[in-house]
Amino acid sequence: MNISQIRDQFPALQQKVYGKPLVYLDNSATTQKPEQVLQVLREMNAGINGNIHRAVHYLSVECTERYDKARKTIRDFINAASENEVIFTSGTTASLNLLAFSFGQTYVRPGDRIIITRTEHHSNIVPWQMMCQRAGALLEVWEMDQTGALDPKKLEQILDKPGDPPKLLAITHISNVLGIVNPLAEIIRIAHFYQVPVVVDGAQGIVHQKVDVQKLDADFYVFSGHKLYGPTGTGILYGKEKFLEEMVPWQGGGDMIESVSLEKGTTYAKLPLKFEAGTANFTGVAGLGAAVEFVQSLDNGTIEEHEKTITEKAIKLLQEIDGCTLYGIPGTYYGQVYDKIPVFSMSIEGAHPSDIAMMLDKMGIAARSGMLCAEPLLARLNLTSVLRASFALYNTMEELEFFVDSLKKVLKILR
C-alpha cells in the first residue's frame, strides 16, 4: 500500500471540520483508527460480547480467544520472550502507575534513589514522585542540555555516587515535545553496568521505531494503544519476567487471584493475570491486536522513507519562517546519533502558540499548543507554551505544505 491507499483506510481522515477538510496533525496526542480496528470494535460491541476467563459459554470463549490472541500478537510485535511479560493496562499512564506502585512496594526502601530525566512527560514524572513520597525515596533528575540531548557522562555521575546504586532509571524513548530518539541502547548499557534496571516510556517510540525489547534489553517498556492506531483505553506494560514474578500486584480483584479465602488469605494468579484485576477491556484489547496487525501489514521501508521525507522537508520549511525556533534538532550529540520522528514543536517570535493553534483550528488544522504535559522540559527552555504539529504514517506532503502556508497566513494576522 502507498500512503494514499493507507490513508483511505482511515474514515476519520475523510471528514470536514468547519466545512474544511480535516488536516489532523495532533498524532502525538492520539491517532485515528483504521477500518480494520473499527470493524473489530463494531463487531464485538454489537454481538461478540462475553466476559473473559470466566464462563464456558460461546461468547465468553470467543472473547477470551481474541483477548489471548492479541497478547500473542503484541508479544511478537515487540519480541518479548514470553506472553507472561505482556500485561494489558488502560494506557501508558496506567502502566507507569502500576510500575511505580508494584516496583516501589517490592524493591524501594527509604533513602533509595530513583532517576528520571528532564525530558519526561508528566506521566513518567508524577507516578515516581508519588512513589518516592510513599517510600521515602529520593528522586534525582538527569538534566538535559539546551538542545534536549542527554549527556551520558552526567548519567554516569549520578549512577557512580558512593553507596547503593539507584533502584531504577525511568526514561522516555522519544520525547513528545522534542521528537528526537534517545540513544536507548547506549543508555541501557550504562545503566545495566551499574546494575540499574531501566523503565522506558515508549508512548511515542513504539509508533515510529521498530522495538525489539530483548535486543534493547529494556527491563520495562510501556506504551498506549490509542497512539498506535488502536482503541483508547488500551495499553501495554512489558516487563522482564524475573521482575514481574517478584513484584506485588497493584490492583486486587477478579481474575488476578488463584484462591480467595477469608480464613487463610488470598493467593494470586500467575503471570500475566496477576496484574490484570477486574474485567479487562477485552474489546479494546482485541482492537489493539487488530491495530498492531495493521501496522505489521505495512511495508516498513515505505513508512520509514515517507516519515523521513516529511521530517526533512518540515525542518527546512519551518526554519525558513522568520522568528521560528524548532526544538529537537536531529544530529550527533555526545557521540550519539539522535534521529528525529515527524514531531515538530516550535515557538515563533511575536505570536503565541495558543493564538496560532486556535486560528489553525478554524482552517481545519488540528495542531497542539501549550505545555504538552512536559512542564519541566519547557521550563528548562524558558518556555510556557509551544506549538506542535505531529505527523503519522497517513499524513501527506500536501498536508505539510498546507500547514506551513496556513501558519504563514496566521502569522501575518498575529504579528
Partner 1 sequence: MTIPEKQQKIVEEFSFLEDWMDKYEYLIELGKNLPPLEEGSKQEKNLIKGCQSRVWLDVSREDGKLYFKADSDALITKGIISLLVHVFSGHTPVEILESNMDFIEKIGLKDHLSPTRANGLLSMIQQIRMYAFVANTEKPS
Beta carbon of residue 361, minimum distance to partner 1 (angstroms, whole number): 9
Q: Indicate if 373 belongs to the active site.
A: yes
Give the interface segment with partner 1, choosing from 97-105, 161-169, 178-186, 347-355 (CB under 8 A): 347-355
- Cα separation, 345 vs 364, in Å, equals 19
How many of the chain's residues bind partner 1 (CB under 8 A)?
15
For partner 1, the closer CB: 248 or 358:
358
Please list, residue by residue across 314-344, b when 16 or more beta carbons sit within 10 angstroms of its beta carbon and e when fewer do.
bbebbeebeebbbbbbbeebeebebbbbbbb
- Cα separation, 272 vs 170, in Å, equals 22
Cell of 212: 525489539
- Cα separation, 330 vs 208, in Å, equals 15
Q: Mask of contacts with partner 1, 228-247, x by CB under 8 A?
A: --------------------
**Residue 175 half-sphere exposure toward CB, CA atoms < 13 A:** 34
Beta carbon of residue 11, minimum distance to partner 1 (angstroms, whole number): 25
- Cα separation, 274 vs 102, in Å, equals 11
- Residue linked to cell 518540515: 314
Residues 6-25 that bind partner 1 (CB under 8 A): 18
For partner 1, the closer CB: 20 or 54:
20
- Cα separation, 259 vs 240, in Å, equals 25
For partner 1, the closer CB: 259 or 384:
384
Are the C-beta atoms of residues 148 and 178 closer than 8 Å to each other? yes
* Residues facing residue 26 across a β-bridge: 390
Beta carbon of residue 58, minimum distance to partner 1 (angstroms, whole number): 42
- Residue linked to cell 499548543: 369
For partner 1, the closer CB: 138 or 413:
413
Give the interface segment with partner 1, choosing from 1-9, 151-159, 240-248, 350-358 (CB under 8 A): 350-358
Residues 351-390 that bind partner 1 (CB under 8 A): 352-355, 358-359, 362, 369-371, 384-385
Please list, residue by residue across 139-155, b when 16 or more beta carbons sit within 10 angstroms of its beta carbon and e when fewer do.
bbebebeeebbbbbebb
Beta carbon of residue 40, minimum distance to partner 1 (angstroms, whole number): 30
Beta carbon of residue 33, minimum distance to partner 1 (angstroms, whole number): 23
264 Cα distance to chain centroid: 41
Question: Any contact of residue 413 with partner 1 (CB under 8 A)?
Answer: yes
**Residue 84 half-sphere exposure toward CB, CA atoms < 13 A:** 13
- Cα separation, 72 vs 61, in Å, equals 17
Beta carbon of residue 370, minimum distance to partner 1 (angstroms, whole number): 4
Strands 168-172 and 113-117: parallel
For partner 1, the closer CB: 23 or 181:
23
Q: Which of 204, 174, 189, 215 lies closest to 79, judged by CA?
A: 215
In whole angstroms, how large is the CA radius of gyration of the chain? 22
For partner 1, the closer CB: 222 or 374:
374
For partner 1, the closer CB: 120 or 276:
120
Q: Mask of contacts with partner 1, 294-333, x by CB under 8 A?
A: ----------------------------------------
Q: Mask of contacts with partner 1, 103-132, x by CB under 8 A?
A: ------------------------------
Residues forming the active site = 373
> Contact residues for partner 1 (CB under 8 A)?
18, 352-355, 358-359, 362, 369-371, 384-385, 413-414
